[in-house]
A and B are shown apart, each in its own frame.
Chain A
Amino acid sequence: MQLFLEQMLNGIAIGAIYAMITLGLALVYGILRILHVAHAAVYTVGAYVGLAVFAATQNILLSAAGAMVSCAGLGFLIERFVYYPLLKYPPYVPLIGSIACLLAIEEICRLAAGPYILSFPARLPFPSFTVGGIVISSTLTAVYCISAGVLALLWFITTRTELGLAMRATSQDMAIASAMGINSHRIISLTFMIGSAVAAIAGILVGIYYNQVYPSMGAVPAYKTLALIVVGGLGSVPGAVLASILLGVGETLLIGYAGIPLPRDALAFIAMIAVLLWRPQGLLGSRG
């Protein structure tokens, strides 16, 4: 029982981290209808910049701020110079551009920092708990608190502010939104910057959680998060969060108990195809 609860807690933490990566992807998909594979590269850059700033200053807050600012900049550049000019082409054209971006940025990380796995020796200023013999480490507490905070903040921005209203209007119909006086190009850039800054936080958390930062750390999340936004319902942000947490828990429990001989990366896709057969519009998607 104790082991089960510990597995659950780990699963939720992994799910929460997936949710933070998937969110950016769901926001971008909702607004541009582009499968933003290069989002995983932004997340990798976030981990590297976070580690570099941390190594220089030993201050985790500065490191997070540095990573968020540089990732927001990177997201802005990708949007402005790769996606926006390719919007009028069929969807596979920006998709290939995105994959090329992912490869190029991964290579830049490898050339700049070397191909080895670096450790991220930061300790987060969060307390650890012991409840009924179950230890919740400070890293775990940090993952819970930070992801809950980020998700709440994003929920607030998208549903309760004027910026969120403009974002929703742009994602529903860009032409009409522009006609109503919304600067839709600026909204798109802002969406990219917000999503990329969140990916930076996810990158740092993954780096600390597994104590590993390496150039190809984005390769598997890049495609797994695609499956997650489909399961959640393409473009649905709450759906993406729900799907991420379900996958995190499901993966951890299945690997821990069922002893399924398939790697966990294939599991996400099997779950995705099962969900699509049952609800082709995704868990929380609407029929379009």
Chain B
Amino acid sequence: MSEYTITIGTLIAIQAIVACGLNVIVGYAGQISLGHAAFFGIGAYASALLTTAGGLSFWTALPVVLGITGLVGLFLGLPSLRLREDFLAITTIGINFIVVSIFQYVPFFGGALGIGGIPRIVLFGERIRGVSFFLLSAGFLAATLAICWLFTRSWSGLACFALREDETAASSMGVSPVRFKLTAFILGTAMAGLGGALYAHFMRFISATDFGFPMSVMILSMVVLGGMGTLWGPVLGALVLGILPEVFRPLTDYRMFLYAALLLLMIRFQPGGLLGENSLARRTFSRLKGGKS
């Protein structure tokens, strides 16, 4: 595999981890979030600062990074308990803009110059790069998917599904909306933090613009396109949206237009996502099995 393919593959794996995190919040708990890139950024900045200024290694910094992003997620998840759907959507957009401008204008976070010189990850005495970084990211993605799968099978996951379908009915059965919504927020933002940490050590230079609102839109598009609330949907979405711009690269000037037009067509004709309920893939699959969809 060429270095180019490996780089694209690694970035797709990292984005898939972040998209899985958003899927826990939006797909499982039904809380719209349009500021997920903020947590991706908080993870990246936390890991970058801890390993450069703090002098920690990636592995000792990682639990701290996950703790920080989970805690911020808990704090910012609180409005979701008070706000209606659309208010929550716009509030999360606002949080994204505010976090990015803090990164950009507070000198502690490197200001407009960002943070450079982030050390490589060292594992078993080896500096991880190229194919081994891809394998490491894929390993973390597999772990993330396993946690998502366990979550959907757990009591917390079932409680989240119940709240998503009908909050009033679920809470009258004794399911606490506060507890389970916040659990989903902590889990989802910690996954974004993991993706951020990997991203920082892969790129080895980060700046605030990497984590702006367009990134949030991209992550949400991955989740919606792949199939919200499904296990593999976010991974498929990350694959499709990660590969499309590369396929269109020879078209140079028309590339962004085609990308936007395809996104529009996909959301228009497969609004439930490529793997969602009543999607083309799902119907074909059940026809092949001979069952009724």
| B257 contacts A92, C-beta separation under 8 Å | no
* Contact present for B271 and A91 (CB under 8 Å): no
Q: Does A280 contact B (CB under 8 A)?
A: yes
Most buried by A among B97, B220, B263, B271: B97
- Could you say which residues of chain A place their CB within 8 Å of the CB of B271? 86, 89, 93
Known contacts A101-B264, A269-B97; A227/B224 CB under 8 A: no
Q: CB within 8 Å of B: which of A263-281?
A: 263, 265-266, 269-270, 272-273, 276, 280
Chain A residues with Cβ below 8 Å from B217 are: 96, 99
The answer to whether the Cβ of A107 comes within 8 Å of any Cβ in the partner chain is: yes
CA distance A99 to B101 in the complex (A): 22
What is the CB-to-nearest-CB distance from A171 to chain B, in angstroms, rounded to a whole number? 14
Most chain A CB inside 10 Å of its own CB: which residue of B79, B256, B264: B264
Beta-carbon contact of B83 and A280 below 8 Å: yes
Residues of A near B213 (CB, < 8 A) are: 223
Interface flags for B60-85 (1: CB within 8 Å of A; 0: not) read: 00000000000000000001001111
**A131 contacts chain B at the CB level, 8 A cutoff:** no
CB closest residue in chain B, given A270: B98
B261 in the interface, Cβ–Cβ < 8 Å? yes
* CB contact list, A194-248 vs B, under 8 A: 223, 226-227, 230, 234
| B87 and A230 form a contact (CB under 8 A) | yes
Q: Is the interface of B mostly helix, strand, loop or mixed?
A: helix
Docked CA distance A266–B101 (Å): 7
Query: DSSP majority for the A interface?
Result: helix
Expressed in whole angstroms, the minimum distance between the Cβ of B157 and any Cβ of chain A is 20
Question: With the chains together, A229 CA to B89 CA distance in Å?
Answer: 13
Q: Is B260 an interface residue (CB 8 A)?
A: yes
CB-based contact A273/B94 at 8 Å: yes
**For chain A, which range describes its interface: under 10, 10 to 19, 20 to 34, or 35 or more residues?**
35 or more
Give complex CA distance A32, B268 in Å.
17
Return chain A residues, CB-CB under 8 Å to B279: none
Determine if A262 is an interface residue (Cβ-Cβ < 8 Å). Answer: yes
Interface: B254 (CB within 8 A): yes
Q: Nearest chain A CB to B105's CB is how many angstroms away?
A: 5
B86 at the interface (CB under 8 A from A): yes
CA A73 to CA B98, docked complex, whole Å: 35
Q: Are B91 and A263 in contact (CB under 8 A)?
A: no
- Cα distance, A177 to B165, chains bound together (Å): 28
Q: Least Cβ distance of A258 to chain B in Å?
A: 14
A132 proximal to B (CB < 8 A): no
Contact partner of A93 among B224, B259, B263, CB < 8 A? Answer: B224
**Of the candidates B89, B101, B268, which one forms a contact with A92 in the assembled complex, judged by CB atoms under 8 Å apart?**
B89
CA distance A209 to B87 in the complex (A): 32
A276 touches B257 (CB 8 A): no
B89 touches A91 (CB 8 A): yes
Complex partner residue of A85 from B93, B104, B268, B272, CB under 8 angstroms? B268
**Contact digits for B246-277, partner A, Cβ 8 Å, 1 yes 0 no:** 00000001101101110110011001100000
Q: Which residue on A lies nearest to B253, using beta carbons?
A: A111
**What chain B residues lie within 8 Å of A223 (beta carbons)?**
93, 97, 213
- In angstroms, Cα B102 to Cα A272, docked, is 17
> Closest Cβ of chain B: how far from A213's Cβ, in Å?
19
**What CA separation (Å) do A265 and B32 show in the bound complex?**
22
CB B30 to nearest CB in A, in angstroms, measures: 9
* Whole-angstrom distance between the Cβ of A219 and the nearest chain B Cβ: 9
Residue of B nearest to A264 (CB): B101
B26 in contact (CB, < 8 A): yes
Determine if A96 and B267 form an interchain contact, defined as CB atoms under 8 angstroms apart. Answer: yes
Whether the pair B264, A82 counts as a contact (CB closer than 8 A) is: yes
Chain A residues in 8 Å Cβ range of B79? 276
Contact B105 A272 (CB under 8 A): no
Q: Which of B26, B91, B259, B264 contacts A272 (CB 8 A)?
A: B91
CB of A133 within 8 A of chain B?
no
Distance in angstroms from A236 CB to nearest chain B CB is 13
Is B244 in contact with chain A by the CB < 8 A criterion? no
- Scoring A residues 83 to 124 as 1 if CB is less than 8 Å from chain B, else 0, what string do you get? 001100101110111011101100110010000000000000
Q: Does B90 contact A (CB under 8 A)?
A: yes
A-B residue pairs in contact (CB < 8 Å), sample of 20: A85-B268, A91-B32, A92-B26, A93-B267, A96-B263, A100-B260, A103-B259, A104-B257, A104-B260, A104-B261, A111-B254, A226-B90, A261-B105, A263-B105, A266-B97, A266-B98, A269-B93, A272-B91, A273-B91, A280-B83
Besides the known contacts A92-B32, A99-B221, 11 further A-B residue pairs in the complex with CB atoms under 8 A apart: A85-B268, A86-B268, A91-B85, A92-B220, A93-B267, A103-B256, A104-B257, A223-B93, A263-B105, A266-B100, A269-B93
Closest 3 A-B residue pairs measured CB to CB?
A: A269-B94, A103-B260, A107-B257
Which residues in B have some Cβ–Cβ distance to A below 8 Å? 26, 32, 34, 79, 82-87, 89-91, 93-95, 97-98, 100-102, 104-105, 213, 217, 220-221, 224, 253-254, 256-257, 259-261, 263-264, 267-268, 271-272
